[in-house]
């Protein structure tokens, strides 16, 4: 039974357009929802997000079993509002089970404990923190890492306000936020492993990893993500950004399943050792001229599509435009249903 709830109202002149765009987005990414032309109910980990047309615009409600779930749902609702009503529609003013707090319930401050280079392009950081049990989830493998500006010894972190919004630190002290995959987690020791790609022109995460020293601080929130469905045949493909997730899949997919995987890196020296069982077949591809990143991976998946696809699951992560085209082909050309594929754009060219 849902124990907590909060709601907010947004004045909109074209609320029907908001609902159409919201449902189109949910359909494209195969997010399950219920409803009709005037309301949308999305079932998410930890609770439900409700969007209903009212006379003055849009009424939104978050329902969850615990505070962290309610905070996560509010964030998801506000993301959809920013996408389909514009940034000027924020912040929303929430009413109900809303409390101010020093940090969000799903947030932890982490410190760099160890550093290991897996290849010239991938560096593993072991991060240490307290009370990490919430991140030990069978399907939600992703976290949002908060990277504070260089030179700040005591970072400030975002915190929930009494209106259900987010109180951000001053601009010059605000952390950059990026999504990463948990490679390994040890709840007992309070340690988590994250693999970082060291780009030639690194973003906030790669830059943090490149200059990391034991004791350096970052923030971590989550977990997030969607798992894979049970199947007898899996096709997995991804570039360097997806190696941690594919490595976990190779470790955890059932031994009775047939698993084929393709990974794209810049050159042979960028290949890393992976946990490959007898039921898995892994192929490395090197980036080649004349092909956009991830294109040869999508081609490999399409070429490997079996004639009978009733018990097939496709997992793909790479460049966003390539991912979007592959997702459409899987649904329109090959007839894969919701729950048979998870195709994600991890980055945009």
Q: What is the pLDDT of residue 349?
A: 77
| CB-CB contact of 239 with 293 (8 Å) | yes
pLDDT at 127 over 90: yes
State the pTM of this model: 0.89
Q: What is the pLDDT of residue 186?
A: 97
- 187-200 pLDDT, tens digit each: 999 999 999 999 77
- Compute the distance between CA of residue 271 and CA of residue 219 in angstroms, rounded to an integer: 29
* Nearest CA among 188, 208, 187 for reference residue 197: 208
Q: What is the pLDDT of residue 345?
A: 87
CA 159 to chain centre: 21
Contacts of 241 (CB under 8 A, 6+ apart): 197, 317, 318, 346, 347
- 252-274 pLDDT, tens digit each: 999 999 999 999 998 899 999 99
Q: What is the β-pairing status of strands 39-44 and 33-36?
A: antiparallel
Domains of the chain plus CATH, in order, are 4-96 (3.30.310.50), 107-224 (2.40.30.10), 233-347 (3.40.50.80)
């Amino acid at each position: 039974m849902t124990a907590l709830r909060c709601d907010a109202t947004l004045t909109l002149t074209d609320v029907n357009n908001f609902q159409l765009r919201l449902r189109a987005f949910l359909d494209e990414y195969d997010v399950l929802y219920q409803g009709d032309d005037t309301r949308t109910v999305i079932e998410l980990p930890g609770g439900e997000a409700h969007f209903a047309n009212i006379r003055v615009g849009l009424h939104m409600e978050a329902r969850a079993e615990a505070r962290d779930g309610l905070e996560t749902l509010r964030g998801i609702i506000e993301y959809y509002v920013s996408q389909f009503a514009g940034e000027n529609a924020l912040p929303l003013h929430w009413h109900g089970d809303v409390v101010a707090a020093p940090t969000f319930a799903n947030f932890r401050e982490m410190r760099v404990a160890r550093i290991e280079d897996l290849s010239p392009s991938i560096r593993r950081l072991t991060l240490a923190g307290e009370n990490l049990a919430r991140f030990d989830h069978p399907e939600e493998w992703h976290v949002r890492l908060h990277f504070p500006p260089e030179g700040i010894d005591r970072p400030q972190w975002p915190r929930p306000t009494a209106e259900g919004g987010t109180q951000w630190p001053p601009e010059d002290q605000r952390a950059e936020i990026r999504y990463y995959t948990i490679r390994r987690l040890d709840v007992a020791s309070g340690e988590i492993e994250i693999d970082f790609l060291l780009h030639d022109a690194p973003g906030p995460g790669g830059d943090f990893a490149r200059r990391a020293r034991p004791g350096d601080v970052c923030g971590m929130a989550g977990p997030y993500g969607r798992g894979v469905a049970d199947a007898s045949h899996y096709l997995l493909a991804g570039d360097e950004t997806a190696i941690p997730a594919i490595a976990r899949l190779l470790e955890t997919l059932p031994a009775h399943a047939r698993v084929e995987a393709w990974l794209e890196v810049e050159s042979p020296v960028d290949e890393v050792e992976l946990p490959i069982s007898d039921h898995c077949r892994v192929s490395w591809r090197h980036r080649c001229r004349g092909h956009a990143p991830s294109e040869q991976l999508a081609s490999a998946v399409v070429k490997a599509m079996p004639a009978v696809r009733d018990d097939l699951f496709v997992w793909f992560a790479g460049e966003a435009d390539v991912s979007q085209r592959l997702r459409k082909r899987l649904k329109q050309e090959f007839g894969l249903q919701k729950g048979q594929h998870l195709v994600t754009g991890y980055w945009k060219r």
